[in-house]
Amino acid sequence: MTWYPESFTSIPMSDMNMRADPSRGYPGRTYRFYIGDRVSAFGHGLSYTNFSCKFLSAPERLSLSGYVRAESRRHVLNGTSNGLDYIRVDNVAYCNSLRFHVQILVNNDGDLDGSQVGLLFSQVPKSFEGAPKKQIIGFDRVHAQSYKSAETSILVDPCQHLSIVNEQGNKILPLGDHTLIVEDMKHTLSIEHDRRRYSFEFAYRPSASEVILFQFLFLVSTVAASVSFLRT
């Protein structure tokens, strides 16, 4: 949990807004949105030794092409107020198939054996207004002997761990550069969707009146062809 300073007690308990509002001096709540001073950050702990972490393996790109429901392809991309693209999570057909593992190496840099809880966080592209500063994906406790290393793996479900909720209450998966974070180490993951793949499906959509006109012209041409055939 986040340990707040004593000054945080001046904030009314009735104000349960999560997001910070600097215009009225409100720092927000929880590690996901809080921007004020803190005594201890979320996930902070003490140890008799020193640890450091690094990414061993994590994807750099994640393509959503082929994972969007067919009935949703016409409106697959939606723009935010900042003109950024996202896909609604309920339009993603096979969330389980998008899962991947992140391999993390934990180094014990001290004289004593010890355990370290590795926490994996994510950040959505920074231009998404109202998005959390970061949100936790998962964690694992790793034991490492003095001056030795240990590995751990954390499962990432993009539909769950890399999504946010927009102002309309819809769960969305932002496209663009997401950031995976372990302590002070960062890794960029680009989530992409090739809209060109479906461009032929909605390059042109006739109106209802145009459809009726096309049907009428087709009927006239069919009748004319039949009359011409009978005359011969």
91-144 pLDDT, tens digit each: 898 899 999 999 999 999 999 999 999 999 999 998 788 899 999 999 999 999
In this predicted structure, what is the pLDDT of residue 85? 86
In this predicted structure, what is the pLDDT of residue 93? 85
Helix and strand tally (H, E) in the chain? 3, 12
In this predicted structure, what is the pLDDT of residue 207? 58
150: CB partners within 8 A, 6+ apart: 105, 106, 108, 142, 143, 144
Side by side, the strands of the sheet bearing 51-57 are: 51-57, 100-108, 149-156
Element (H, E) at 199: none
In this predicted structure, what is the pLDDT of residue 204? 41
Q: List, for the chain, all residue ranges whose pLDDT scores fall below the cut of 70.
A: 1, 70-83, 195-211, 214, 218, 223-232
Residue 166 to residues 12, 60, 64, 87, Cα–Cα distance (Å): 26, 25, 20, 11
Q: What is the CATH number of domain 49-201?
A: 2.60.40.10
In this predicted structure, what is the pLDDT of residue 214? 67
3-state secondary structure of 136: strand
Strands 176-182 and 185-192: antiparallel
All structural domains of the chain with their residue ranges: 1-44, 49-201
Q: What whole-number distance in Å separates Cα of residue 84 and Cα of residue 101?
A: 27
Which pTM value belongs to this model?
Answer: 0.75
In this predicted structure, what is the pLDDT of residue 212? 72
| Cβ count within 10 A of residue 94 | 13
Backbone angles phi, psi at 48, to 5 degrees: -85, 0
In this predicted structure, what is the pLDDT of residue 200? 33
In this predicted structure, what is the pLDDT of residue 67? 80
